[in-house]
Amino acid sequence: MTIQLSYFLDNVDNFPQSELTFATLFSQKTKQMRIPQCRVQIRILTVFVFTTLCFLLGAPVDANAQDGKALFSANCASCHHPLKDGTGPALKGVDGRVPNQEWLYKWIKNSAAVIASGDKYAVNLYNEWNKTAMTAFPNLKNEEIDAIIAYVNSVEPKVASGGGGGDVADKSAGGGGDTWLYALLTIVLLLAAIILSQINKMLGKNANDKLGLPTKESIPFYRNKVYIALAAILCFIGIGVYLSKGGVNMGRQQGYMPEQPIYYSHKVHAGINKINCQYCHSAAEKSRHAMVPSTNVCMNCHKQINEYTGAEEHPLYTAEGKEVNGTAEIQKLYEYAGWNAEKKDYNRDAEGNILAKAIPWVKIHNLPDHVYFNHSVHVVSGKVACQQCHGNIEEMDEVKQSEELSMGWCINCHRETNVQFADNHYYSIFEKYHQEIKEGKRENVKVSDIGGLECQKCHY
């Protein structure tokens, strides 16, 4: 197959001939989709083949870390980062640094008391961090502290090869690691099973020999018709699942998180600084497009805000794990906006027009051309929150597509969502439904009841 492919692709200029394998083909995609979809697909296969073994092992892995993460976020995150020094030191490996575990419990529950006790390590630490006092957490139990420590120790720096970023990247990286673990375990167990069965066979043969009973001649497993049939069926199902999954997902980009021309953090703007979504996406209630704001909207604030001062509380990282200099990103905005930060004025041409360029943002949420989607009607009359379709955007530094934006996903919402039936006078023409509500035959009106599932609501 590879040979045939290379023959075909020889004629396609885009593909360097020497690297023609399935992997390179898929990596064409990964270049743009920083989500390693090929790996997801391979994983599906791997996982499928070894399902029976894997799911037994899957559940208990970092249960502690999971709890610890919540505790860490609630109690520690405002001053500490697992990997970076913040208000307080980076916490990864803290249990190895401190004198002992007991010391750590005491320190966390009441650091001031430890310092006051004159503990050398504690005093040094206190001085090293500019005598910043750490909040006392007397209510934390030792097990909870263990969980937090387990979590911070589990956090790995984001690395370039990991692809992806944010939550999905974390998951996929973790998932990938697990897969190899599962595979190893499976191989070991399989070997064990084979050895055991061989032993069993041998023992059986010996027993038979002793008893003088004839032993059926053993057929090697690769010639055993049952195995062959089983393997064939498994292969068939596996490839079928792989192909149909691939087919269905063709054109879908869930998890898509492209690199943008400017590292714009929604978390900093919408999350930390709590800027209303529609301050920038102001067309969301007027138009089918929510509208990417023009650079002059950015400049409303950024004329004053010319540096990123939050690097300590919230350092910015790219999906590849590189740290981002927020101030430099603001400079990039100035480039596009034609803003001269020194003169505090725009660069203008002879006629006084501002020399601004549009920022070529990469569009993340793409619908096929044959789909008509209108933001305004969802936002205004549907009263749908932005997050319902775009995920927790205020938590994302780099935005990724959080939902699959498939037709099934749309339809499902139309089936489940109640329209604002009583409040919106538009619906007064649906006399039948009003009557049914009055008579108690009907509790609510779903979008699907007023034609929300019909083709030409979205396709025309």
Long-range contacts of 192-200 (CB under 8 A, 24+ apart): none
Asked whether the beta carbons of 55 and 135 are under 8 A apart, the reply is no
> Toward another protein, which CB reaches closer, 115 or 399?
399
Least gap, CB of 392 to another protein (angstroms): 21
Q: Which one, 33 or 152, has the nearer CB to another protein?
A: 33
What's the min distance (Å) between Cβ of 350 and another protein? Answer: 16
* Neighbouring-strand partners of residue 418: 446
- Give the N- to C-terminal CA distance of the chain in Å, as an integer: 41
State in angstroms the smallest separation of the CB of 370 from another protein: 5
Which of 68, 142, 147 has the alpha carbon at shortest distance from 106?
142
Tell me the backbone φ, ψ of residue 78, rounded to 5 degrees: -70, -20
**Which of 106, 245, 286, 332 forms a contact with another protein (CB under 8 A)?**
286
Contact flag: residue 4 with another protein (CB under 8 A)? yes
Q: How far apart (Å, rounded) are the C-alpha atoms in residues 391 and 386?
A: 8
Residue 300 or 327: the one with the smaller Cβ distance to another protein is 300
CB nearer to another protein: pick between 139 and 456: 456
Tracing tokens 């979504």 back to the chain, one arrives at 277
Q: Does 251 bind another protein (CB under 8 A)?
A: yes
CA 244 to chain centre: 23
Binding-site member from 48, 105, 121, 361 for another protein (CB under 8 A)? 361
Among 372, 387, 416, 418, binds another protein (CB under 8 A): 372
| Residues 36-75, interacting with another protein (CB under 8 A) | none
Q: Which member of 215, 374, 388, 444 binds another protein (CB under 8 A)?
A: 374
The least distance separating another protein from the CB of residue 128, rounded to whole angstroms, comes to 47
- 429 makes contact with another protein (CB under 8 A): yes
Q: Which of 54, 147, 257, 359 binds another protein (CB under 8 A)?
A: 359
For residue 444, state whether it binds another protein (rule: CB under 8 A): no
β-pairing verdict for 323-324 and 339-340: unpaired
Distance CA 355, CA 348 (A): 5
List the one residue from 17, 127, 287, 300 that touches another protein (CB under 8 A): 287
Q: Which of residues 404-423 bind another protein (CB under 8 A)?
A: 423
Residue 56: count other Cβ atoms within 10 Å of its Cβ.
11
Q: Does 296 bind another protein (CB under 8 A)?
A: yes
Contact assessment for residue 459 and residue 371, using Cβ atoms and an 8 Å cutoff: yes
User: In 3-state terms, what secondary structure has residue 142?
Assistant: helix
- The interface region with another protein, picked from 172-180, 267-275, 362-370, 408-416 by CB under 8 A, is 362-370
Please give the structure tokens belonging to residue 451.
Answer: 């034609």
Residue 202 Cα to chain centre, angstroms:
51
In terms of DSSP H, where are the helices of 212-224? Answer: none
Query: Per CB under 8 A, does 383 bind another protein?
Result: no
